[in-house]
Amino acid sequence: MFTRRTIVGIAALAAITISLSACSSTATPTASGAADAKTATSVAAFGDMAGLVKAANAEGALNVIALPANWANYGKIIAAFKKKYPKITVNSALPDGSSAEEIKAAVDLAGQNTAPDVFDLGPAVALASTAKFAPYKVSTWDAIPAANKEKTGLWVNDYTGLMSVGYDSKVITTAPKKISDLLGSAYRGKVAINGDPTQAGAAFAAVGLAAIQNGGSATDFQPGIDFFSKLNKAGNFLTVDPTPATIAAGETPVVFDWSYNNLAQAATTPSWKTVVFPGSAYGSYYNQAINKDAPHPAAARLWQEFIYSPTAQNLYLAAGAFPVQIAAMDKAGTTDKAAQATAGKMPSTFVSPTAAETTAAGALLTAKWAAAIGK
Amino acid sequence: MTSDAQSPAVLVAGAGVFPRRRRAAGSRPRRPARRFASWLGLTPFALYVLIFLAIPTVLAVLSGLVDAQGRFTTSALSALFTPEILKTFASSFWVSAVTAIVGAIVGALVCYALLGLRPQGALRSMVDSAASVLAQFGGVMLAFAFIATIGSQGLITLLLQRTLHLNIYANGVWLYDVPGLLLPYIYFQVPLMIITFMPALEGLKPQWAEANATLGGTRRTYWLRIAGPVLAPSFLGSLLLLFANAFSSYATAAALISQGAQIVPLQIRGALISETVLGRSNVAGALALGMIVVMVVLMWAYSALQSRTTRWQR
């Protein structure tokens, strides 16, 4: 008797699943040109820019994911996009999600009209997920240095920051001049990093910076782990996850984070100061990519065109992030001078680990991090 | 004994009391139809359990046995026995055990104190409703409440510093580490104990105390020989429930601890969503399997204990 009931249950479940997937398949936009948009590799497939805008307007929506409003000015970038294309609704999902969660959402929601259209990914996830991307070359393709893009346009670097230390100048009255200053007693219970380095890119970069500032390199993260272990033993390391709220509340007075995040914090916490230590700098580009199964393929491509337009690139710069086209923009004279003053000058070189180095450092951190910062 | 063996089935059948009474009346011909009806009544619950518990559990466990290409592998399972992961299981056990024991003892004492109040009284119903609300008060809200009160810039922290010159974080901030979980967990464990254990205490009949007194027993013999054995199964049951509650808690810990993924649910999060160490989602499945094994052992211990104690409870 029970087995029969189980079979009935499974049959009911199967029926539900089928009807759900039936729902989602009808939700996929059937606007004219949608089939073309899915495979379009440049604006030429739509005729011209006006054609792309028309196709995107017909779709009427764009799903972005993991774009916090206070991260590299994404709040303003989304607002500017909405203003320029008022017929497109921007749905921003999971603003505090990680890069891995962006890909996970694309897999979990595949075929539904809530799936993400575009990604903004850390390098490790971007390189591991190229099978999920649709190649697309924006109209400013030539302004992007060759080293900053996949040659068919599967992914393209968008902006980078430098790993920096932000601090509340009301609590820490003398600015730290070198990384070892943070080991002093003035920093007892005050120093946090943005996430767990075995999980979050920004935290991973904090350990990377500590490594290169303490005699290590992109291939040798051990000195960075040792530094945080020392920081922890001194009682200075704070294991709370810093957010704009914890910073405003004074709970996290010293934070390792990307320069654009620390610079942006000054808007809400005026006493928040940002330091990039002299010596080797550490940076890492984020990457734009289009979801291969984007429910709004034309809007996704329009977003890419917008991201690589001077408007959005200058908004990155105004937040303190260096946009990938900065050299070309300087040449063309489209760089926003006020934004340039906020961000400072981009260093000619900075350390940025390769995919292989990231994997090796990740394995090292998985084995050693928990023990290094354990009590 | 025979009625014992039957009782679980009757319980599962939902409206279990009625069939038993009617059976006594002996209306035989309608029996199969009635039985069918009672199974039918179970269907929504069974479906619910199947869709939201059984299938996800099986999928999670299976994900621990395949690699990224879908081939069978035991590498994720062997990752369970690395020192780092064993350590997180140990801290999970430690936190769950400490908060369950403290929660159970404090909760039981509160229940005992409540027995002295009028059942319809204002204080009693206030504690009852507060307990039902606070038992569910977990997650980010609870974490925030603790950050706001005893965080390094919290109200109580600063008050203690300014009035008594007592710095609770003199040796570093512990709120965002495993020991920091104890206070928030106990905060929801005690009310949970009150709502689960109170009915058992209320079930103590005054006649038993009177009989004990009539037969020359003392207060000590009453608690040791009568109330103690009668309450033991439900006390231990509540204790196990509290342990399981803490063991599977995620959101509070996730909001407080950001470094090191020191307990098992945080390890699962790390394995699933890490953006720096990729390709460990099957380790999450293996960790889930580990947690399920712990739960199965706990529940088996509970039922073994229950069947032993009910033998002399009747």
Using the predicted structure, report yes or no on whether residue B124 has a pLDDT greater than 80: yes
Nearest-angstrom CA–CA distance, B313 and B308: 9
- Confidence (pLDDT) at B299: 83
Write down the pLDDT at residue A52: 95
> Residue A363: is its pLDDT beyond 80?
yes
Give chain B's mean pLDDT.
83
Question: Do residue A98 and residue B273 have CB atoms under 8 angstroms apart?
Answer: yes
> B169 vs chain A: nearest CA distance in angstroms?
8
**Which pLDDT belongs to residue B95?**
95
* Cβ-defined contact of B84 to A367 (cutoff 8 Å): yes
Number of A–B residue contacts, CB under 8 Å: 134
| Facing A204 at nearest CB: one of B175, B261, B276 | B276
pLDDT in tens, B134-144: 998 888 889 98
What does the longest C-alpha to C-alpha distance in chain A come to?
Answer: 78
Which range (A11-15, B116-120, B180-184) has the least confidence? A11-15
List pLDDT tens digits, range B126-162. Answer: 999 999 999 988 888 899 899 889 988 889 999 998 9
Tell me the pLDDT of chain A averaged across its residues: 88
Q: Do A373 and B277 touch (CB under 8 A)?
A: no
Which residues in chain B are closer than 8 Å to A107, comparing Cβ atoms? Answer: none
Sorting pLDDT into bands at 50, 70 and 90, what band is B118? confident
Of the given ranges (A45-54, A63-72, A235-244, B66-75), which has the lowest mean pLDDT? B66-75
* pTM for the predicted model, two decimal places: 0.76
**CB contacts, 8 Å: B262 with chain A:** 370, 374
HEC secondary structure over chain B = CHHHHHHHHHHHCCCCHHHHHHHHHCCCCCHHHHHHHHHHHHHHHHHHHHHHHHHHHHHHHHHCCECCCCCECCHHHHHCCCHHHHHHHHHHHHHHHHHHHHHHHHHHHHHHHHHCCCCCCHHHHHHHHHHHHHCCCCHHHHHHHHHHHHCCCCHHHHHHHHHHCCCCCCCCCCCCCHHHHHHHHHHHHHHHHHHHHHHHHHCCCHHHHHHHHHCCCCHHHHHHHHHHHHHHHHHHHHHHHHHHHHHCCCHHHHHHCCCCCCCHHHHHHHHHHCCCCCCCHHHHHHHHHHHHHHHHHHHHHHHHHHHHHHHHHC
Per-residue pLDDT of A312-358, as tens digits, reads 999 999 998 999 999 999 999 999 999 898 888 888 888 988 878 88
Query: Looking at residue B30, what is its pLDDT?
Result: 58
Cβ distance A196 to B256 less than 8 Å, yes or no, reads no
Give the one of A5, A235, A365 whose C-beta lies nearest to B171's C-beta: A235
| Contact of A291 with A116, CB cutoff 8 Å | yes
Q: Could you give the maximum distance between any two Cα atoms of chain B, in Å?
A: 81
Q: How far is B206 from chain A (nearest CA, A)?
A: 43
Closest CA to B267 of B100, B86, B143, B95: B86
Q: Which of A101, A102, A117 is nearest to A37 (CA)?
A: A117
pLDDT 10s digits, A205-245: 999 999 999 999 999 999 999 999 999 999 899 888 888 88
- pLDDT given at position A366: 87
List chain A residues with CB under 8 Å of B38.
none
A131 Cβ under 8 Å from any chain B Cβ: no
Q: Which of A100, A121, A371 sits opposite B274 (nearest CB)?
A: A100
Average pLDDT over residues B56-82: 83
**pLDDT value of position A5:** 42
How much is the ipTM here? 0.72
Q: Is the pLDDT of residue A13 over 70?
A: no
Please give, rounded to a whole number of angstroms, the shortest distance from the CA of A205 to a CA of chain B: 10
Q: Quick one: pLDDT at residue B274?
A: 85
Q: Is the CB of A1 less than 8 angstroms away from the CB of B39?
A: yes
Contacting residues for B59 by C-beta, under 8 A, at least 6 apart:
none
Least confident of A115-119, B72-76, B153-157, B197-201: B72-76
Q: Which residues of B touch A356 (CB under 8 A)?
A: none
B75, B155, B161, B276: best mutation site toward chain A, by most A Cβ within 10 Å?
B276
